[in-house]
Amino acid sequence: MNRQTFVGTESYLVDAALRDAVNVAVNIERPLLIKGEPGTGKTRLAHAIAEALAMELQIWNVKSTSKARDGLYVYDTVQRLNDARFGDRDIRDIRQYIKLGPLGRAFAAQARQVVLVDEIDKADLEFPNDLLQELDVMSFAVDETGETVAAKQRPVVVITSNNEKELPDAFLRRCVFHYIDFPERELMTEIVRVHHPEVEAHLLSELLTAFYWLREQPAIRKRPSTSELVDWVAAVTRSGLDADRVVKELPFLGVLLKREQDVDAAQEARVSRIPLRR
Amino acid sequence: MFVDFFLYLRETGLKVSLTEYLALVESLSKGLARAHLDVFYHLARALWIKRESDYDHYDRAFATFFRGVEAHVDLSDELLGWLANPVLPRALSPEELAALKRFDFDTLREELLQRLREQRERHDGGSHWVGTGGTSPFGHGGKNPQGIRIGGSAAGRSAVYVAESRRFRNLRHDRILDTRQIGAALKKLRQLGRDRGPEELDVEATIDKCAKNAGELELIFAPPKKNRVKLLLLMDVGGSMDPHVALCERLFSAAHAATHFKAFKHYAFHNCVYGRLYTDMTALEGPPTREVLQGLDSTWSVILVGDAWMSPYELTAVMDGFSLESREPAPGIEWLRRLRARCPTSVWLNPEPIGVWESASTRLIRQIFPMFSLTLDGLGAAVDVLRGSKPNRPGLRVEP
């Protein structure tokens, strides 16, 4: 197989560690497990990989009631029963009631696809273990029809977790793991530039200083993330406030902080802080 | 060298399995990090380290092991050598040996040779190869030949430098971080309740009902099952606990926000539990401890938080906290024993470092309650005791 290389996209910037982790997962065909603070772009990574490698993306949003099999296929018995009662269709062919799930569709596809298994930790503890076998051999049997669906091309599987639950060791051993570290200032500047290329450099620098300062305040419980920073930059630039006032007043805090107590804490810290400039 | 690094990691206590080792061999054979230690650093971390809490451990091991090694080492020559005779210098378990045998080394060798041949024709340092030939096309000036911008700052920083800076120190599990992590740890307590799970379709009842209705569909859902965990949180406040107030606050708000308990009660005490527990520490309001105890039984789990640091007489003499009424005078230690007798499923969390647990008062308390440090690891172990998956044994031995 040809080696494929992921380097990020125009709007999704990656650091070297994430780039290497993605490439190893893509090339040795193992699931990529992504963790990280909320708002660091875990889910968007799968979109970026699909875009960069020109593959189709299948999304599987895991819920607390999700079963591993849902990702492979669902046998729509209720539809079949309904058809049986009203005689709408010939119900003898069970195959028409087998609906492939996101993973199943990626297996059945001709070209290699990306599968996003989003927030795997929301599901039951057994969920990851139940998926192991299928992810290993990349094929599964449909019990109702006796058919086997085998992957023509092993899909790129991206799994995200918010650390709500510990994942089993056996599962972890088969994954490539990457923890998205919170972007450092340098990378963050580039990320904001992607979204707001017009922001004046001095203003951006002041905003970033304020942003990182806020993140360091111990009284703030829910620390603002990348996506919130991007929104904040938008709000500030549109308001036309100049850098000095921004530093002094920290306007539009509600964009960055979503808890009332955090906004209060930030205001308090702002009043008593040592001047922001380094 | 990479074999030795693998063994070194295992020696330092990171449980990297042979399967994961072979995954690295495979990715090196595919030419993913031929000569770049920086890429190797990322690669080995992605394949071998599966918890961010172990990142710091890995960084320290990497820095120690590779200190003084140049950033450009030719890993592929070494890999070729190893593939010719793929043995690890150590006795392997039968399972590991089997895994080693199943692995197709010849194909990998072929592949690696093929890559190397191809690469030589293309000149080292071309844009085609990730992290090879010394000039990684990514991360230097922020642009690669296709014009896609790459963030990060690979340039000018060696992997050893990155490892030495230990950026992931804060993710270690022997430090407590935030409410969310505590919440996740407390969530494990959910397993105490046997009747749990979301509302589900009761298939048997539905079939019965449909049959009785002559085929008319009627879906029967079982009532949602309840988690049976009841939690009592008792926290020491004031005095010597002041330095830990932020930490205790976080634990409290996590427990308070947890919605999965059948019942949750919390009181404050000062120094030790005496005749009265407090709902309001400044006004000194709260019910007598006796009443609280009467409302409890062995189905309750109890977490006490305190530094267990006081003069021994504050434990053994008859005190009554701040309250002057003392209808049943008893020393603090007696109240603790009564609590333990009433609710054997109980633990003590101590925010002080383990080193100071040898004080007289701490030792006395440790003989009544199993004591854990108020860190993520300690909390996890305490929850394990509460749910019965670890023995509930008070004593002076400190769990690692």
Looking at this predicted complex, what is its ipTM?
A: 0.83
Burial class (CB in 10 A: 0-12, 13-18, 19+), B273: buried
How does pLDDT run across B357-377, given as a tens digit for each residue? 888 888 889 999 999 988 888
Which residues neighbour B384 within 8 Å (Cβ) at sequence distance 6 or greater? B188, B390
Judged by CB atoms closer than 8 Å, whether chains meet at A16 and B139 is answered as yes
- Residues within 8 A of A (CB atoms), B 258-317 only: none
Q: What is the pLDDT of residues B100-113, one digit of tens each?
A: 777 777 777 777 77
Which tokens belong to A11? 């709007």
| Cβ–Cβ below 8 Å for B150 and A8 | yes
**Would you call A88 exposed, middle or buried from its count of C-beta atoms within 10 A (0-12, 13-18, 19+)?**
exposed
Nearest-by-Cβ selection for B52 from A16, A25, A179: A179
Chains A and B: how many Cβ contacts under 8 Å? 122
Q: Which residues of B touch A177 (CB under 8 A)?
A: 46-47, 49-51
DSSP conformation letters of A44-77: HHHHHHHHHTT-EEEEEE--TT--HHHHHEEE-H
Q: pLDDT of B85-138, one tens digit each?
A: 776 656 566 777 777 777 777 777 777 777 777 655 544 333 333 333 333 333
Give the pLDDT band (50/70/90) at residue B139. Answer: very low
In the structure, how many helices (H) and strands (E) does chain A have? Answer: 13, 9
C-alpha torsion sign, points A38, A39, A44, A45: negative
CATH of domain B230-386: 3.40.50
Contact A207, A246 (CB under 8 A): yes
One DSSP character per residue, A143-170 reads TTTTEEEE-SS--EEEEE--SSSPPPHH
Quick one: pLDDT at residue B170?
63
Instruction: Give every CB contact of residue B19 below 8 A, 6+ residues apart in sequence.
Output: A173, A174, B99
- B358-382 b/e (C-beta count within 10 Å ≥ 16 → b): ebebbebbbebbbbbbbbbbbbbbb
Burial annotation B320-345 (CB, 10 A radius, 16+ → b, else e): bbeeeeeeeebbbbbbbeebbebbeb
* DSSP-derived 3-state class of residue A99: strand
pLDDT band at B192 (very low <50, low <70, confident <90, very high): very low
pLDDT, position B384: 85
Residue B61 CB coordination number (10 Å)? 19
Least confident of B192-196, B220-224, B232-236: B192-196
A81 touches chain B (CB under 8 A): yes
Q: Which two tokens stand for residue B161?
A: 């430098």
Using 50, 70 and 90 to split pLDDT, how confident is the model at B226? low
The confidence band for B219, taking pLDDT boundaries of 50, 70 and 90, is confident
Domain boundaries, chain B: 2-171, 196-226, 230-386
Please give the full DSSP string across B120-138, using - where no structure is assigned. Answer: HHT-TT-TTSTT-TT--SS
Does the beta-carbon distance from B178 to A221 stay under 8 Å? yes
CA distance B141 to B149: 9
Distances in Å between the Cα of A23 and the Cα atoms of A26, A150, B33 are 5, 24, 11
Sequential pLDDT tens for chain A (278 residues): 456 788 888 888 888 889 999 999 999 899 999 998 888 889 999 999 999 999 999 999 998 888 888 899 988 887 887 888 887 777 778 888 899 999 999 999 999 999 999 999 888 878 898 888 888 888 899 888 888 999 888 999 999 998 777 788 889 999 999 999 888 888 899 889 988 888 888 889 989 998 998 888 877 878 888 889 999 999 988 888 888 888 788 888 888 888 888 888 888 887 776 554 44
